[in-house]
Structure 1
Amino acid sequence: MRTLKKIGLTIVFLSFVIGCDSTTDSKYELEDFIPGDPSIVVSIANIEILQNDLDQNEVFKNIEKNELHRLLSGEHAIVKLIKPKSKSLIGLYKKDSANYDFTLVTKQDSTLFSPDSIGDVISETLSYGEVSLNRVQIENETAFTMVRDSFFLISSSQQLLQETLSEADTEQSNLSKVIDLGDEAELLIIRNKEKIRLSDSLTEALADQLALNISIAADGIRASGVALNNDTLPQLIDVFKGQNPQTNAIAAAHPVDAETSLTFTFNNPDSLFNNLKTFRADFSDLATHPIFETITEVCDLQFKNDRAIIMHSIDAALTNEALIPYLSENSSFRDVDVYDFSNPEIFINQFAPLVNKTRPILAFRLEQFFVFTESMLTAEKIITGFKSNNVLMNSTFFKNASRDLATASSMLLMQFNEEVSRGIANAIYGDMDMIRRSESLKDYRLSALQFSYDRNFAHVNYVCTETVASKQITGSVTQVSSNSLDTDVLIDPQFFSNHRTGGKDIVVQDMANKLHLLSSNGKLLWSKNLQDPVLGKIHEVDILRNGKKQLAFTTKNKLHVIDRNGNTVKPFPINFKDEITQPLSVFDYDNNRKYRFAIVQDEDVLLYDSKGKIVTGFKFKGAGSKIVLPVQHMRMGNKDYILVAEEKGRLHVLSRVGKSRISIDKRFKFSDIPIAEEGSNFVVITSNKTKESISQRGKVSSQKLNVSDSYSFNIDFKTKVTLDDNLLRINGILVELPFGIYTQPALYRANRQTYITLTETQENKVYVYNTSGELISGFPIYGTSTAEIAGRNRTKSMRLLVKGENNEVILYEVQ
């Protein structure tokens, strides 16, 4: 007979529970009271600490409230009143696709269950043979409790407790062994008959048992454990039998904008292929394809709209040879030949279910990596990332995650950015849909689940940690924009200050003589037709002295000044009957924006002011022969010097008014290296590679350099840079570059630092060094011209501008 009583009355089951505080030794272990065949078993070292950690962890705040989470987090109305002082076990038993029953077992003690803090409790005592069970109802929750042999048990199912009584003496050997592996774990989750979601539409049997020792911290989740197969049925983890986990190399080519990727490795392709055939019950005579004989790693990538495959080869020449019958020429992008690929089904045929959707139609090679894509857009994206070093290996979030992953693995499943929530749920709970996508998870950039096969089981690692902006590693390079003009680029792109944003826009001229202005994110702002090519560099000026900048430059017969809207500033342009023979020089003697524009026409120098009027006070009567370099201005001490180099070797050193300031008797064979200022001397590097140092009194000292014809020399402020073939010297520090053909080093100031850029024009690689001779992290990157650097307003990052393909302008951001 059942009796119901309110909490104010004497409650039989409470007396029973609290009174049964047995401290006698028991022949049982906790796992002996987990009946039947649970879907999930959870071991908790200290439930109070666990609940506190869950409460502070952003990931768990976004979990859909299923039964397991309610039990762990203390949201279950009855279980939250249980305060174990020692380890607890929870077994979950699937009732249907969405609901579970549970059993919790822990050591009994006198303070374990505390009902005094709640309102109404309804209870009744039930009999099962010689044992009494207690049914308790609080709010909308119902549970059954009992104590046996100093263990306290609570379950949502009376039947489960009854099964416990009949099965407690049955040996739980497999469960005991796995629980022992995580004996000190804060949270150990064991999932039986484990399945893994390989894609949105494909779930496969992974292992008979998966056990994860989970560490929960404020910055994320880490886990380690094992995957076991005690079943005679094939499991996915078994396909790696006979394989040694290989070092994961594909991160060096893996793009950072993928949504998910599945990477697997092998050292014996025939064995892997045969194991996969067995797993999928494939009885055909299909054999391993020759293109995979030198492959050790395959990565199946999913993007928002299509998919791709990356393979790592240990002998790229042999892999390339095996691929030739399936390739035909398509196009080229950034010096990479892209081919049509005629065997799109090969990856599914060979590697299903590890590859189950990807059908590539294009193929190309990136060093030791072979890439196959479903579209040209994805091909270009992967090539761009590889050429700019914007790959997974260099990302902050992957570097952080790698500390908790093995360097070699059998299988690595990763989710990125918006897919991270699904990756966490898949790894921890085996259910991709358990965690909501949330703005609070935006700093969780990567979820990585790794398996490394070892004899008859696999080691498992999992990591998902927060990567906030303040923790970003400096030195990463990201492509901001890529703009393709209608015709090829004529002059190297340059930065142009935007007074509205404080940032930098981009100016470039194409082969049709169109001048283009692009915004800082690559948007075309305007185009202006010019009749002729721009001569040399475009200068940035402020002729109205109001902070609004203009572009100043010369073409063959014109001096132009154009505002940032593409409009000509009156009275410019100034037209010249005779041809202008050197690029424009702009002088600002006193840094007061009262500019002088120096125009060279063969032997003559004409000086114009900001109003477009000729400076009549400039009395230089002309050179004795053709002027061979742009006119230069230098200030040493409180004196201004204007330098004019002529073809017959004379160097004129003039005052502001064009009168000779220094008389130099010696004649020089000028090269195309500009005259430099070194200390208090002028320096000329001659075409026969002699360094001529000229004092302010006209005294000349000569030094034979014994350098190559490609020698270059540049000084800016306190930084002196020379390049002799592949030997770069920065303030005397030697940097040995890879052999190649380089542009002249250029010096730029950004964020109070000086940087040196140069480009290798055969491999099309841009290098950036600091004044200590250190290559900036993330370089070299792709580029085909001299690169220009500018600091970003109110940030520590920089922008780098360079030409890409013949008609392409590329903007990078450097952290």
Structure 2
Amino acid sequence: MKRFILVLLIVTISSCSKKTELDFQIQDHIPENSEVFLLSPDLEKFLREVRGNKFLSQSKFALKKNITEQLEHLSILNLKNETGISFSNLSTETPIYTIITIRDSSLIPLDSARNKSIETFKEGNLKYKRVNLNENKFFLLETGNTVIISNSRQNILNSGNQEKLLNSPTFNKAWNASDRNKTSIFLNHALIETKLSDIFQPLKFPGIKSFAEWSVLDIDISESNIKLNGISLNSNDDNILNRFRKIDPQQSEIGKICPGDFISFYSVGFSDFDMLYKNARNSKLDSIPSDYPGILKHARESASIVLTNGNILALNINEMESAKETLAGLGIVSEDFRGSDIIELNEDINFQKFFPGLMTLEIAKFYTVLENFVIYSSNPEALKSMITAFQNSDTLNNKQYFTDLMTSLSSETSMLFVVNSSDFAKKLDNEESTHEFKFNKNSLAALQVINEVDYAHLHVVLSNSEKVAQSNGAEQSSSIKIDSPISKAPVFFKNHRTDQMDIAVQDENNELYLISNKGNVFWKKSMDSQITSPIYQVDLFKNGNQQMAFSTGYHMEVLDRTGKKVKGYPIKFNQPLTQPLSVFDYDNNRTYRFVLTQNKKVYMVGPKGNAIKGFSFENAGSEIIKTPKHIRLGTKDYILIAEEIGKLNILSRQGTIRVPVSEKIDFSENEWFGYQNSFVSTNPRQNLIKISQNGTVSSTDLGLAENNRIVANRNNLVYLNENELSINSKTIDLDFGLYTDPQLFTVRNRTLIAITDTQTQKVYVFNDKAELLEGFPVYGTSQVDIANADLDSKLELLVKGEDNEILLYEF
């Protein structure tokens, strides 16, 4: 009987606990007029981080002052549970706040308050309190398991009566996209009417009110940096994000020409200006001309640059010779400045009309050309500043603090807004602003927007460090353990939701894991056998969502990032696959070709898992001994298939012989590579084998050992010969050991070569000049993967450590 009562008590307590969690739903109590909403799992910790940030603690601005005055009592309250704070009326001196948190008897520490009073009011069936703590007054409502605190009596009444509360499907999507383990900020763009618009105006940014409907940003704050990452969601055709429908983001190159002493620049990237313009004309804006200047048809990026002596419009041109034909006859040379012509236009151009609501631009009276940019201004002195900075290499791309910032952002962008923070603060001071921003020299702030089909990625970075970032060599950043020994070297896999890199790895029990770069296991999934191929990253639906494709013993698999099988996969075979999967993307347009091999037979399938018609090479004359490989030389595509009898088939996309090779090849274990417009590999007899595009075979005696290893790309040739590593004809004598095949990486325009000595468990990384990078070698026991795996300025190296350990290094 006692045992029964104990079990009943445990079940009752468990049920009450679950009911308590269900009763507490912050999103059910948010006022409908919320302009900004802050959600934090640990508000006290977040406030400590805010106070510890030098910029936020030392800067003065009206919004900070007004909110601080209203929320002084936060330091008194014990807000140790998940808490949400709604803000409205932010443009006034008395913002309205509403705090929502879980009911807790220790929330208000009455014993420690010097002056306190509590009054209870009843209106209808609703009871609420007015609390005075140390001269801080607020209203308090307890409903179910929720406590609501506000400086607005009306908000308390509305919440208690379930009236005028937020009911937005778009907000709900933003809520679901936020990271509940981080503090997040939600922006209601339609209601924001703060002084922020006054700040954005002198920087030529269109502002935030018409940007989207809702945005959510997860916040990371350190002593000198603030980073926010999230998404913007849209349902209003008038909003700015809708201008980018059917427009692919582009890589911003404004840093090539923007002077280092700039105040701000705002860049818009577009794959097709005509489509961008059609989107503008389809909006509800009036007075948009039916046509636009021909020069815009040649552009892929437009940037407004604010300088101390004027404003600039810079157009990044696809093909300058064609653009110059369009510009011919539109003006006359007014001045030759340092060898560059400054052209005065015959007729001024009001570019503002062609970027309505998207950019703030002045009338263009002059232009000049620098490399692949056409640069306009109303002031020739501003053009001279651009020319001078470019000729003196005093542009942003030559500044370490700018390149560090850009490595924290995605490589392609729809909108990019960068502020030279210290010069921006000076500009505001000159305009007698009430703001007082404390920025260090060379500190930058950036807002990046990357448009997708139904939403946009947002990245915000404020770097307020006075020191220029320096490399401190490779440092271990994390160690991640999995359940069983690792069977295949871990690799990076892009997380399209965060624009960072996750980790894919398989253990000896055939379990495939997807793990965040912080060590959180998203999922693990049993495979039929070991993965035999690289784990390829593909975008089958061309929407930015990433899938992983690979082969096992009898299957070809495609999984989405949740671990679910993509429709049409796996492709199963009754007999084993004899070569690993190959993935071809001839034109880098995500029209994939998956190539599978069984003995003499080649199967080529498309993104939906169906056989590709028109590929005529199905059966080789003998066993296929290497994975079929796609190589592009110049503008031509080649498919290489090696046979056991020494025949090398060099095929076209259609599977017909494109390069006849009459000689039989004595194949080594090395792959074939495209290098300096030829196909290269080695044979077991010390020779480098080169085949030209007309089929001529030549060999060079390099004195190679039988177990030589080679890797190459268009401009780099690397080979390992016992303990000698040759990088572009420069030889490095390594210690004798057991080395993995050398690996070649191109990351952020850097060429890196990695190799691991599995005997001494050391990982080496060299640059293309055969120089060992600072901080290497490091500990590791497998081949590596290298990428920019998070949003900071450093690269990450991924390698196996102990049997079941994954190591991450930053360098």
Partner of 1:119: 114
Matches within 5 A, 1:86-125: 86-94=81-89, 97-125=92-120
Q: 1:21 to 1:116 in 2, by over 3 A?
A: farther
Partner of 1:330: 334
- The count of aligned residue pairs is 451
Partner of 1:461: 459
| Counterpart check, 1:193 vs 2:179 | no
2:459 maps to a residue whose letter is N
| Counterpart check, 1:260 vs 2:256 | no
Structure 1 CA distance for aligned equivalents of residues 309 and 420 of structure 2: 15
Partner of 2:588: none
Q: Could you list the per-position Cα deviations for residues 672-720 of structure 1 after superposition, in whole angstroms to 9, with x for gaps in the alignment?
A: xxxxxxxxxxxxxxxxxxxxxxxxxxxxxxxxxxxxxxxxxxxxxxxxx
* 8 A Cα contact 2:36 2:187, kept in partner: yes
* 8 A Cα contact 2:337 2:384, kept in partner: yes
Partner of 2:143: 148
Partner of 2:217: 212
Partner of 2:158: 163
Partner of 1:449: 447
**Deviation (angstroms), 1:360:** 2.8
1:445 maps to a residue whose letter is S
Structure 2 CA distance for aligned equivalents of residues 83 and 433 of structure 1: 37
2:95 maps to a residue whose letter is Y
* 8 A Cα contact 1:26 1:149, kept in partner: no
Structure 2 CA distance for aligned equivalents of residues 185 and 65 of structure 1: 29
| Counterpart check, 1:388 vs 2:392 | yes
Instruction: Decide which of 227, 241, 244 is 1:240's aligned counterpart.
Output: 244
2:437 maps to a residue whose letter is R
Partner of 1:31: 27
Q: 1:421 to 1:228 in 2, by over 3 A?
A: farther
Deviates more, 1:138-147 or 1:448-457: 138-147
Instruction: Decide which of 313, 316, 336 is 1:312's aligned counterpart.
Output: 316
**Deviation (angstroms), 1:93:** 2.0
**Deviation (angstroms), 1:472:** 6.2
Structure 2 CA distance for aligned equivalents of residues 388 and 65 of structure 1: 37
1:437 maps to a residue whose letter is F
Q: 1:75 to 1:126 in 2, by over 3 A?
A: closer
Deviates more, 1:154-163 or 1:380-389: 380-389
Q: 1:451 to 1:284 in 2, by over 3 A?
A: closer
Structure 2 CA distance for aligned equivalents of residues 367 and 93 of structure 1: 48
| Counterpart check, 1:340 vs 2:344 | yes
Q: Which has the larger radius of gyration?
A: 1
* 8 A Cα contact 1:270 1:288, kept in partner: no
2:122 maps to a residue whose letter is S
Q: 1:344 to 1:457 in 2, by over 3 A?
A: farther
Structure 2 CA distance for aligned equivalents of residues 126 and 380 of structure 1: 70
2:171 maps to a residue whose letter is L
Matches within 5 A, 1:574-613: none
* 8 A Cα contact 2:33 2:166, kept in partner: no
* 8 A Cα contact 1:301 1:309, kept in partner: yes
Structure 2, unaligned stretches of length 5 or more?
1-15, 473-726, 731-768, 772-811
Structure 1 CA distance for aligned equivalents of residues 453 and 302 of structure 2: 22
Matches within 5 A, 1:275-314: 275-279=279-283, 281-283=285-287, 285-314=289-318
* 8 A Cα contact 2:30 2:166, kept in partner: no
- Describe the SS at the equivalent of 2:353: helix
Partner of 1:741: none
Q: 1:127 to 1:434 in 2, by over 3 A?
A: farther
**Deviation (angstroms), 1:422:** 10
Structure 1 CA distance for aligned equivalents of residues 166 and 357 of structure 2: 38
* 8 A Cα contact 1:451 1:458, kept in partner: yes
- Describe the SS at the equivalent of 1:246: coil
2:37 maps to a residue whose letter is V
Structure 1 CA distance for aligned equivalents of residues 347 and 227 of structure 2: 40
Structure 2 CA distance for aligned equivalents of residues 331 and 244 of structure 1: 38
Instruction: Decide which of 242, 255, 259 is 1:251's aligned counterpart.
Output: 255
TM-score, normalising length: structure 1? 0.51
* 8 A Cα contact 2:63 2:90, kept in partner: no
* 8 A Cα contact 1:43 1:179, kept in partner: no
**Deviation (angstroms), 1:390:** 1.6
Structure 1 CA distance for aligned equivalents of residues 314 and 117 of structure 2: 62
2:339 maps to a residue whose letter is D
Q: Could you list the per-position Cα deviations for residues 186-240 of structure 1 after superposition, in whole angstroms to 9, with x for gaps in the alignment?
A: 3211111356745238645111112211111112111111111233x50122211
- Describe the SS at the equivalent of 2:410: coil
* 8 A Cα contact 2:449 2:459, kept in partner: yes
Instruction: Decide which of 41, 44, 47 is 1:48's aligned counterpart.
Output: 44
Q: 1:296 to 1:95 in 2, by over 3 A?
A: closer
Structure 2 CA distance for aligned equivalents of residues 21 and 147 of structure 1: 18
- Describe the SS at the equivalent of 2:258: coil
Q: Could you list the per-position Cα deviations for residues 765-810 of structure 1 after superposition, in whole angstroms to 9, with x for gaps in the alignment?
A: xxxxxxx999xxxxxxxxxxxxxxxxxxxxxxxxxxxxxxxxxxxx
Structure 1 CA distance for aligned equivalents of residues 427 and 226 of structure 2: 12
**Deviation (angstroms), 1:148:** 1.5
Structure 2 CA distance for aligned equivalents of residues 159 and 360 of structure 1: 52
**Deviation (angstroms), 1:167:** 2.3
1:451 maps to a residue whose letter is V
Q: 1:257 to 1:66 in 2, by over 3 A?
A: closer
**Deviation (angstroms), 1:316:** 0.7
RMSD: 3.5
Deviates more, 1:198-207 or 1:143-152: 198-207
Partner of 2:436: 436
Structure 1 CA distance for aligned equivalents of residues 238 and 31 of structure 2: 26
- Describe the SS at the equivalent of 1:342: strand
| Counterpart check, 1:271 vs 2:267 | no
Q: 1:378 to 1:238 in 2, by over 3 A?
A: same
1:157 maps to a residue whose letter is S
2:436 maps to a residue whose letter is R
Q: 1:170 to 1:461 in 2, by over 3 A?
A: closer
**Deviation (angstroms), 1:254:** 1.5
| Counterpart check, 1:79 vs 2:74 | yes
Partner of 2:402: 398
Structure 2 CA distance for aligned equivalents of residues 212 and 422 of structure 1: 28
* 8 A Cα contact 2:55 2:437, kept in partner: no
Structure 2 CA distance for aligned equivalents of residues 734 and 33 of structure 1: 65
Structure 2 CA distance for aligned equivalents of residues 347 and 118 of structure 1: 61
Q: Could you list the per-position Cα deviations for residues 729-778 of structure 1 after superposition, in whole angstroms to 9, with x for gaps in the alignment?
A: xxxx9999xxxxxxxxxxxxxxxxxxxxxxxxxxxxxxxxxxx999xxxx
Q: 1:170 to 1:450 in 2, by over 3 A?
A: closer
Instruction: Decide which of 226, 230, 252 is 2:231's aligned counterpart.
Output: 226
Matches within 5 A, 1:308-707: 308-420=312-424, 436-438=436-438, 441-443=439-441, 445-469=443-467, 471=469
- Describe the SS at the equivalent of 1:164: helix
Structure 1 CA distance for aligned equivalents of residues 471 and 366 of structure 2: 34
Q: 1:328 to 1:392 in 2, by over 3 A?
A: same
Structure 2 CA distance for aligned equivalents of residues 360 and 105 of structure 1: 52
**Deviation (angstroms), 1:279:** 4.3
Structure 2 CA distance for aligned equivalents of residues 360 and 735 of structure 1: 52
Instruction: Decide which of 157, 180, 184 is 1:184's aligned counterpart.
Output: 180
Structure 1 CA distance for aligned equivalents of residues 149 and 17 of structure 2: 16
Structure 2 CA distance for aligned equivalents of residues 315 and 175 of structure 1: 43
* 8 A Cα contact 2:263 2:420, kept in partner: yes
Q: 1:86 to 1:449 in 2, by over 3 A?
A: same
**Deviation (angstroms), 1:295:** 0.4
* 8 A Cα contact 1:420 1:447, kept in partner: no
Deviates more, 1:245-254 or 1:177-186: 177-186
Structure 1, unaligned stretches of length 5 or more?
1-19, 425-431, 475-732, 737-771, 775-815
